[in-house]
Structure 1
Amino acid sequence: MIKVSIIGTGKVGTHLIKACINSPMVQLVEIYNRSLEGLELYKGLTPTTTVLKDLKKADIYIVALPDDVIKTLDLSHLSGLIVHTAGTKSFKILNAPRRGVFYPAQSFSKEKKINFKGVPVCIETEFVGDYGVLQNFAHMIAQNVYELSEDKRQKLHLAAVFANNFSNRIMGIAYDLCKEHKIDFQILQPLLQETFLKTQILPPKVAQTGPALRNDIQTIEKHLNQLKGTDKEVYQILTKSIQEDHGIKL
C-alpha cells in the first residue's frame, strides 16, 4: 500500500483523486485545495485541508496546480516525494527536497469521466532512488508508464498540442461551418472517427487525402472563396503544409 496526497482539485487533480480511490493499492491520505469550495465534494470521503503546512505524512505528494502556482509553494517541510503534473516544466520549480514529474498525457475535463488506466503517464525523478517509488505508484493507477527526460517530455507536450488542441480547433471550424449552413454536424462523425482510427495503423503522411494532396487547384480556390479571416488563413497554411510534406511544387 502506497500513501498519496493530492494537492489541487482542478481538472487533473479531480481525475487523479478518482484514480487513487479506485486503486486497492493506493491509500489517499489527504486532499489539499486553497479554497473550501474545491473540497466540498470530498468531505466524508477522505481527509481534506486548506493549510499546506498541515499536510499529513505521505509517500508521494502530487501537485496538480497551474504552472505559475507550483513555483510559489513551499513544500520544503515534506519528507515524501513531491511531483508535479505539468508537461512543460522541470521538477526544479518545486521547492522540495525530493522532486519529480508525473505527467498524464491526456486532455481532462471535470464533466467527462475517463478510465485513468488507459492514460499514458510520463515520469521523471531527480534522484535515482526515487524512481522506483514513482514507477510503482504509476503502475497502480495506469497501464502505460514511460520514463521521459525533461526535454523529451516537452517535445511530447508540443506534439500533444498539435494532436489535441489544434485538431480540436479545426473541428471547431468544421462545426461552425455546419452550424452556419444548417447542416447536421453528426454527418461528419464517421469521417472524424475513421481519420483518428487510421493513425493507429498508418503514419499520418501515408493516410493523407484531400484536394491539397491531389493539388486540385480548382477545388482549393473554390473553398478559399467561401472562407474569410483566420479560417481562410488556416486553410491556406494547412494546404501549404500538406503540399510541402509531400513534395508538391506550389
Structure 2
Amino acid sequence: MFLFLTTMIRIGILGTGKVATHLIKGCAAHPSLDLIEIYNRSENGLMPFKDIAPTTTDLNSLNKADLYIVALPDEGIKNINLLHTKGLVVHTSGTNSFRLLQANRRGVLYPAQSFSKEKKIDLTKTPLCIETEKEEDFEILKSFAQLISKQVHPVAEDKRQKLHLAAVFANNFSNSVIGMAYDICKDNDLDFKILQPLLQETFLKTQILSPKSAQTGPAVRNDVATLKQQLNQLSGTQKEVYQILTKSIQENHGSEL
C-alpha cells in the first residue's frame, strides 16, 4: 500500500478527448507520475501526443501500468475489455458505475469540472471524486489523486450521480442560459462584454452566499410589470425558459405571479 507513496506511479490513459487531454498533460508534468502510454483507437487522435508519451492503438498489448484511466464516452467505457490487465482500471464518468468496466480491479475517478481543450485547467484545484470496488485499491487511487489535486473526495456511486446532476444544473444549464443572454445582445447590437462584470459577480457570490440569499431580479421582487414587459419581448424557447425560471424563483421564495 505504502509503495505508491514512495515510488513512481505508472499511468496509462485511454482516450484523447477533453478530460483525457488535461489528465495527460497533468500526469506528464508531475515528477512522481510515469505516463507510460496513451491509447486511442485512431492513430490520428494520437498525433498531438506523440511527443508526450508512447502511444498505441492496440488495446491488447498495453504497457504494464499501476493505474489505467479510461477517459472515454460511456459507449467507449463499456466496450473496452481490460480483463487482461493487472492494474487498477478507473473511468472518469460522473453517472456510471465502476461495474461498467470490464476489468478485474475497478474504480472511478470523476473530476467535477468542465473541460475544454482550448482552455487550460488547474488540476490542483479540480475536485476529484474517487471510488473503488475493492477496499485495498482505494489507497492506490487516493495516492494518485492527491498528487494531481488538492481536493480529493471519497464519493460513492449514488452520491456521485446526484453530484453530476447538480453539476448539470450549475454548469451546463447556466451556460445555456448565458448563451441566450449572448444571443439577445448579439441580435440587438449590444456588446456582450458589458455583462461580464455581472456574470463574474454572480458566480463570486456563490462562494460567500447561498444561491437563495443572493437571488435578485424582477421575479424575486414579484415585479409583475417588468415580468410581463420582458415576456412580451421574447418568443419560442427563450420565452419558455424565462417563464419556467421565473416560476422556479418565485416558488423558491414563496411568491407568485
Tell me which interval the TM-score lies in, with the shorter structure as reference length: over 0.9
The CA deviation string for residues 133-184 of structure 1, in whole angstroms up to 9 with x for no partner, is: 0000001111100000000000000000000000000100000000000001
The Cα offsets for residues 193-250 of structure 1, whole Å up to 9 and x where unpaired, read as 0000000000000000000001000000000000000100000000000000011134
For 1:22 and 1:120, locate their aligned partners in 2 and report how far apart those are by CA, in whole Å. 19
- Number of residue pairs the alignment of both structures matches: 250
Partner of 2:38: 31
Name the structure 2 match of 1:183.
190
The 8 Å contact of residues 247 and 256 in structure 2, kept in 1 or not, is answered as no
What is the Cα-based RMSD across aligned positions, in Å? Answer: 0.7
Q: What amino acid is the match of 2:88?
A: L
Q: Give yes or no for contact 2:10–2:65 (8 Å, CA) kept in 1.
A: yes
* One of 204, 224, 245 as aligned partner of 1:197: 204
Taking the aligned partners of 2:107 and 2:40, their CA distance within structure 1 comes to 20
CA distance in 2 between partners of 1:36 and 1:182 (Å): 44
How far is the alpha carbon of 1:45 from its aligned partner?
2.7
2:98 is aligned with 1:95? no
How far apart are the structure 1 equivalents of 2:166 and 2:27?
28
Match of 2:163 in 1: 156
Aligned 8 A contact 2:130 2:153 in 1:
yes
1:38-63 deviations in whole A, cap 9, x for unaligned?
A: 11122243111000011010000000
Equivalences for residues 94-133 of structure 1 within 5 A = 94-133=101-140
Counterpart CA distance in 2 for 1:40 and 1:72 is 23
State yes or no: 1:172 paired with 2:182. Answer: no
What is the distance in 1 between the residues matched to 2:158 and 2:33?
30
| SS of equivalent residue, structure 1 residue 30 | strand
Runs (5+) with no aligned partner, structure 1: none
Corresponding residue number in structure 2 for 1:226:
233
Amino acid at match of 1:206: S
Amino acid at match of 2:155: L
Measure, in 1, the Cα distance between the counterparts of 2:72 and 2:190.
40
Alpha-carbon distance in structure 1 between the residues aligned to 2:184 and 2:46: 41
2:59 & 2:16 partners in 1: Cα distance? 14
1:82 aligns with 2:82: no
Q: Tell me the TM-score normalized by structure 1.
A: 0.99
Matched, 1:56 2:63: yes
Distance 1:249 1:165 in 2: 27
Q: Which amino acid aligns with 1:149?
A: A
> Percent of aligned pairs with the same residue?
64
Q: Give me the whole-angstrom Cα distance separating, in 1, the residues matched to 2:129 and 2:51.
A: 32
TM-score (norm 2): 0.96
Determine the C-alpha separation between the residues in 2 that align with 1:150 and 1:186. Answer: 40
Where do 4+ consecutive residues of structure 1 move more than 2 Å? Answer: none
Distance 1:240 1:44, change over 3 A: closer
Where 1:152 maps in the other structure, the secondary structure is helix
**In the alignment, structure 1 residue 142 sits paired with structure 2 residue 149:** yes
User: Partner of 1:19 in structure 2?
Assistant: 26
